[in-house]
Copies of this chain bind each other. A is one copy, B any other.
Amino acid sequence: MSVVTRINSDDVAILLIDHQSGLFQTVKDIDVTSLRNNVTTLAKIAAIENIPVITTASEPNGPNGPLMPEIHKYAPHAVYVPRNGEINSWDTPAFVEAVKKTGKKKLIIGGVLTSVCVAFPSISAVSEGYEVFAVIDASGDMSTLSSQATIARLSLAGVIPISTTGVCSEIQKTWNRPEALQFAEAYSTVMPNYQAVIESFLKAETVGSSKK
C-alpha cells in the first residue's frame, strides 16, 4: 500500500466540508484562528490555480451555524452543495455528482469534525477509487486523542494525511512563476512568524540598499 502519488493543480479538486461557526466551538485539537486561516489559504490557492472547490454544510440553519464566509469570498468559483441531512456528504447524491463533474480523481478534503466530516467521505471516496488527501490542520476534532485515532484510521484506509502547507506547496511547485507573491502572501497568513520574517527582510533590504 505504498502511496507515492503527487498533487498537481490540474488533477485535483478540493472539498471543504462543514466549516461552520457552531461546529468550530467544538474543535479542541487546533486553535480556531489557525484552523480558519488554513482553510482560507486553501481557498486562495484554489483561486490562483483555478482548482475546483466544492463546499457543503451540515444543517446551516440549525445550531451548527453558517459556513465560514471566507471560503466563497476568496474562492468565488467554489460550488456550494446543500445536503438533506446526510452526515457523510458522500451519501448526498448531488455532492458526489458535483465531484464527478470536476473530472478529477484526486481529492483534497478538509472539514469539521475530522473524525466525522473528513473521515467518512474520505473513506467512501477511496473505496470508489479516488486518491484522497485529508488536510489534518484545515480540519478540527474534539480532542487530540480523537484526531490521533482518526489519523490512524485514515492511514489504515489508504487516505493520505497531509498538512495545509504540504498541499499548497505541492500545488505551487516553484517560486519561479508570476504568482509567487500571491503564494507568499497566503503562507504569511498561516504562519505568523513568516509574516514577521518578510517584514524584517524588506526593511533590512532597504537598510542595506541605503547603506551602499
A residues sitting closer than 8 Å to B (CB atoms) are 1-4, 6, 21-22, 24-26, 29-34, 36, 58-66, 68-69, 84-88, 91, 113, 115-116, 119-120, 123-124, 126-127, 136-137, 141-143, 145-158, 160-166, 169-170, 172-177, 180, 184, 190-212
A-B contacts, 26 listed (Cβ < 8 Å)? A1-B156, A3-B153, A4-B126, A21-B195, A22-B194, A22-B200, A24-B196, A33-B33, A63-B184, A63-B197, A63-B200, A65-B196, A65-B204, A68-B199, A85-B174, A115-B165, A142-B163, A149-B162, A152-B154, A152-B155, A155-B156, A197-B200, A200-B200, A200-B201, A209-B212, A212-B212
Other A-B pairs beyond A32-B192, A200-B201, 5, CB < 8 Å: A21-B195, A21-B199, A21-B200, A136-B146, A200-B200
Q: Which residue of B lies closest to A60 (CB)?
A: B203
Contact A163 B141, CB 8 Å, known A197-B22, A204-B208: yes
CA distance A25 to B31 in the complex (A): 12
Q: Across the two chains, which residue of chain B brings its CB closest to A61?
A: B207
**Copies of this chain, whole number:** 8
Q: Which residue of B lies closest to A63 (CB)?
A: B201
Are B201 and A62 neighbours in the complex by a CB distance under 8 Å?
yes
**What are the 3 A-B residue pairs with the smallest beta carbon separation, nearest first?**
A85-B176, A208-B208, A205-B208
A156-B160 in contact (CB<8A): yes
Task: Tell which of B68, B120, B162 touches A170, judged by Cβ atoms closer than 8 Å.
Answer: B120
**B residues within 8 A CB of A84?**
174, 176
